[in-house]
Chains A and B, each alone.
Chain A
Amino acid sequence: MHLMYFTEQPMSAYDEQAGRDFGATALMFSNKHFDPVAGSRLYNNYIEQYMLAEEVGIDGIMLNEHHNAPFCMQAKANIFAGILAGMTKKVKIVLLGNPLPLAENPIRLAEELAMIDMISKGRLVSGFVRGGGQEQLATGVNPAFNRERFEEAHELVVQAWTKVGPFRFEGTHYQHRVVNPWAVPLQKPYPRVWIPGVISKETIVWAAQQRYPYIALNTSIEQTKKIWELYDSVARQTGYQSGPENRGYLIQVHISDNDEKARENAKQFRWMQGEFTGLAHPVWSTPSGYGSPTNRRAFVEFAAGRAINPRGNTTFEQQVEDLRIIYGTPDTVVKKLKRILEETRPGILALWGNDGFVSQADSLTCIRLMGQEVFPAIREIAKNLDLKSPWEADAPVHLRYSTDLQPAAKAAAAE
């Protein structure tokens, strides 16, 4: 079992009323409400949190990035990854992940990641995402080619990591006449790649076809089981048996030394007015061409205010009931997490510990209890349930490095 700490790095120091008045807290919500003095303090708070996470024995620090919104202060995950590569000694630096379609030059990304891997002495996990709809608009990237760019940039990054240069790459969206980066990853064949996601079936299928672990982001137990059903069936078609080493799960969990405080702090998971990616116009979060055409009707109806969000929007109580928000003292939390582990059997678990206005002191308490009490208990449970991480299972980094493929699939993978 690989156990991680995650925070969205909330930029809570803005005028909440201004967000309500504007009617949105994403993309177009003016950055005049961004206070760099508070920003400086918060960035350093997050570094302190990560350093404590390593000190108390947490296996990995999960990082991500978003743009133009207070719910996440990281505009470039690789910056924090670079900082942690130099400052920490043991933790895995788990990027979930770099939004590939946003890269105009994926080779540059490959270089940055290779640098992080070498500086950290091989502790990088390089997840990739499509990036939310708003990220495309915030960076001026065409949402209609999002998936094509994702797959092509992935291909280019992996080639830049594994193929001897100089070589030439002539793709549909990326053309590079000289690929020859003088920075390659320390880990061979290349750093592990994990793919986080929420609802896109296409992404689950793609991850399973690559044999990359899929990390379900705060989905309900039922949704998560459906994700694994799909992943497992694609894995079988692809010629391998998937297991816990292919499954990751991120869940909102706040741990405290008293239940009441835990509950109050857990409510902060709803701080962005119930939408954890901020209030936004639906056409920003799902620009045309970004989503699957099969969801088109549902999204246009939602965008016109005629239907509920197809991604769902539930109350705090409902999320607690569904075990999508967990809070309490270590004992309470371990009991609930045990149920999740039994039902969804992940080999990778990330706890999203603190959000919104949770104080630095309470955040640090949460991390300390996570590392010293919750995770040791979870490790025991995982051992009994045989929930192995990709390292424990010695899983191949990619399908093409598999040694256990069914014969028919082996030929296809070799292509």
Chain B
Amino acid sequence: MAGVDWTDSTVKAAGIRLHLSRAGRGHPVLVLHHETGTLDRLPFYDALAQRHEVLVPHHPGYSRSERPDWMRSTRDIAAIYRGLLSELGLEKAALVGLGFGGWIAADMASMAPGDLSHLVLVGAMGIKPPAGDILDLAVTGYIDYARSGFHDQKAFDRVYGAEPSGDQLEMWDICREMSFRIAWKPYMYSQTLPHLLGAVRAPALIVWGDDDKVVPQSAAKRYLEALPKAKLEIVKSCGHCVDMEQPEPLARLVTDFIGRE
């Protein structure tokens, strides 16, 4: 894979300082990370940047972005990102949401159904799974929780190391605190979101790992029903964090989807 030149900067949206990594050229793709925050560089981001202009912001209150104390819902984050795209002059970006980021992407799509080219939801939270429950951060240890995102624990070791650093643990705690602040009850879903998604006309790709222990696969079906133009791809031998466990196949799915639809 050709080397990717990333630029890190701090950008302001609605007065909030956001950490933003940017690379590549082509159709703009906004990638929204998990509730566990994100590492600065990941093979999935690199792979996407081969064909697209990729933007990876850190959510307000997560990783290296400022925490707005007033924030109370993921819809607040979605509104901030709408502001960010408008600030950057990017129209009709593709939205790629990973897990919790999928909820934010779906919220963004429901807010401005005409202002996105594609919607990709990977193991997305945001909808109450018709069967099973979303894994509860609040009763699960930091490492156990992060490990539950993977089917193959060796994949976890590759990303975080077999023994994640103290800095990583602290970062997970900061992210967890923000998740509590905005998604405590109901936990990690909205009761209104499925009803709002009916307005989305952009094509949607729903991706799920076949061994997702964080968000039950039943939620994928609910998203399929709620989004008018959606299709589902199941990734085999893969956990919740498809982006970290099978970065290349996911990047291919996304790139093909954006190129084709």
Q: Which residues of A line the B interface, CB within 8 A?
A: 27-28, 137, 140, 142-145, 281-284, 287-289, 296-297, 299-301, 303-304, 306
Contacts and interface: CB of A to CB of B under 8 A. Distances in A.
Contacts of A27: 139
B27 interface: no
A137 B173 CA distance: 16
B170 A143 contact: no
Interface residues of B, number: 20
Interface string B125-154: 000000000000111111100000000000
Nearest to B70: A172
Dominant SS at the B interface? Answer: helix
B112 interface: no
Contact of B140 (A143, A283, A289, A304): A283
Given A140-B185, A300-B169, A300-B173, A287 B180 contact: yes
Contacts of B142: 283, 300, 303-304
Contacts of A283: 138-142
B177 A142 contact: no
Q: Which of A27, A144, A297, A306 counts the most chain B CB atoms within 10 A?
A: A144
Contacts of B137: 288
A116 to B, nearest CB: 30
Given A283-B142, A297-B170, A304-B143, 4 more contacts: A140-B185, A144-B181, A288-B173, A303-B169
B172 to A, nearest CB: 7
A143 B180 contact: yes
A289 B166 contact: no
Interface in B217-235: none
A144 B170 contact: no
Given A297-B166, A300-B169, A301-B166, A144 B180 contact: yes
16 contacts: A140-B185, A142-B181, A142-B184, A142-B185, A144-B184, A281-B141, A283-B138, A283-B141, A284-B138, A287-B180, A288-B173, A288-B177, A289-B177, A289-B180, A297-B170, A303-B141
B181 A296 contact: no
B170 A296 contact: yes
A300 B139 contact: no
Interface in B161-194: 164, 166, 169-170, 172-174, 176-177, 180-181, 184-185
Contact of B173 (A28, A140, A296): A296
Contacts of A288: 137, 173-174, 176-177, 180
Contact of B181 (A145, A282, A306): A145
A137 B138 contact: yes
Nearest to B176: A288
A301 B163 CA distance: 12
Closest 4 CB pairs of A and B: A289-B177, A288-B176, A300-B169, A288-B177
Interface of B: 137-143, 164, 166, 169-170, 172-174, 176-177, 180-181, 184-185
Nearest to A307: B166
B59 to A, nearest CB: 15
B95 to A, nearest CB: 27
A301 B177 contact: no
Given A140-B185, A144-B177, A300 B138 contact: no
A278 B138 CA distance: 18
Q: Which of A27, A301, A303 counts the most chain B CB atoms within 10 A?
A: A303
B169 A289 contact: no
Contacts of A297: 166, 170
Nearest to B167: A297
Given A144-B181, A145-B181, A289-B177, A300 B140 contact: no
A406 B174 CA distance: 41
A352 to B, nearest CB: 29
Contacts of B173: 288, 296, 299-300
A287 B138 contact: yes
B54 to A, nearest CB: 29
Given A296-B173, A300-B166, A289 B139 contact: no
Contacts of A287: 138, 180
Contacts of B181: 142, 144-145, 289
Nearest to B185: A140
B177 A284 contact: no
Contacts of B184: 142, 144
Nearest to A281: B141
A8 to B, nearest CB: 23
Given A296-B173, A300-B173, A301-B166, A142 B180 contact: yes
A390 to B, nearest CB: 36
Nearest to B168: A300
Contacts of A145: 181
A143 B136 CA distance: 14
A281 B170 CA distance: 17
Q: Which of A301, A304, A306 counts the most chain B CB atoms within 10 A?
A: A304
A387 B177 CA distance: 43
A52 B141 CA distance: 45
Contacts of B164: 304
Contacts of B177: 144, 288-289
A135 to B, nearest CB: 13
A407 B174 CA distance: 42
Contacts of A289: 176-177, 180-181
A288 B61 CA distance: 13
A300 B170 contact: yes
A306 B167 CA distance: 13
Nearest to B187: A140
Contacts of A140: 185
